[in-house]
Amino acid sequence: MDSKRQKICKRTHVNSGTEVREDVEEMITDANRDTTSRHDLRTETENSDTATHQTLQDTGSVCVKIRSSRAAAVCLVLLCVLLLTAVIVLCVELSKIIDQFKIKYGNLTEEINKLNDRKSILTNSIMILSNDNKTLISKQHKLQQEMTELWQKIHKMDGWKCNQSSLYFISNEKQNWTESRRDCRERGADLIIINDREEQEFLKRVPGGTSVWTGLTHNDVEGTWKWVDDSTLTSGLWTDGEPLDNTGDKDCAINLSSGLAVNSCNTIFKWICEKNTV
């Protein structure tokens, strides 16, 4: 019995040890499995964290790129707006400059046209003056020639005096008014016509220029005094108290140092002939 019990105990003990070992092994295996699971879990967690971090980094990079792209687009739009504004301002200024240039060009064109018109007028005036100058030169030559011929005639005429545009011949003889005028006509002249006080003063300075017949006569029909060219007498040429009452034959006038005086046409006096050189 005892031996059986011992065998049973021993078997039991053996069986118990085996079970214990198996349990320990199983526990170790479980521990190892737990450790492996934890390690795997930790690894997965780390991998997950790494992936999450990487994802966050990628997301941040994408956001930065998006923001940079937006900023660049905004800057580009602002730059375009500034450029467009500058272009508009330049166009407006250019338009003003063009308008001012057109105005100035129009004014210059108008001035040029006016200057051309003035030039044409001046050219025509110069041509007219040139023609007039030629005409005057021709007339001057002609007058010089006539004057030369006239002076030659004057030198040939004894007893003739020159004053302004007239020649005067004072006779040395005495005749009545009619004969005196006939002598003047034969000389290509006529009895003197005194036009003003200046001519009358000239006769005072000429020897024999006073107490001479003049070309002044009285017209009984008209009752007026006229010169031989039918012109009327200028006032202020009579001597004091003249003309007297025209009774009798006092229808002719002589020139005294004091002025004109009436006398009978049959009385004899020296006479003065006048010839106009113009």
pLDDT of 257 higher than 80: yes
Q: Tell me which of 3.40.50.970, 3.40.50.880, 3.30.420.40, 3.10.100.10 is the CATH number of domain 160-276.
A: 3.10.100.10
Identify the top-confidence range among 13-17, 36-40, 247-251: 247-251
Residue whose structure tokens are 């009358």: 200
Q: pLDDT value at position 71?
A: 86
Residue type, 241: G
- Domain-by-domain residue ranges, the chain? 160-276
Q: pLDDT value at position 176?
A: 96
Give residue 39's pLDDT band: very low, low, confident or very high (50, 70, 90): low
**Over residues 204-222, mean pLDDT:** 83
What would the pLDDT profile of 4-15 be if each residue is shown by its tens digit? Answer: 445 444 444 444
Distance CA 165, CA 178 (A): 26
Model-level pTM?
0.46
What would the pLDDT profile of 83-97 be if each residue is shown by its tens digit? Answer: 999 999 999 999 889
**Over residues 226-247, mean pLDDT:** 84
What would the pLDDT profile of 112-162 be if each residue is shown by its tens digit? Answer: 999 999 999 999 999 999 999 999 999 999 998 888 787 766 665 667 888
Q: pLDDT value at position 221?
A: 66
The CB density around residue 228, as the number of other CB atoms within 10 Å, is: 17
Mean pLDDT over the full length of the chain: 80
pLDDT of 204 higher than 90: no
pLDDT of 184 higher than 90: yes
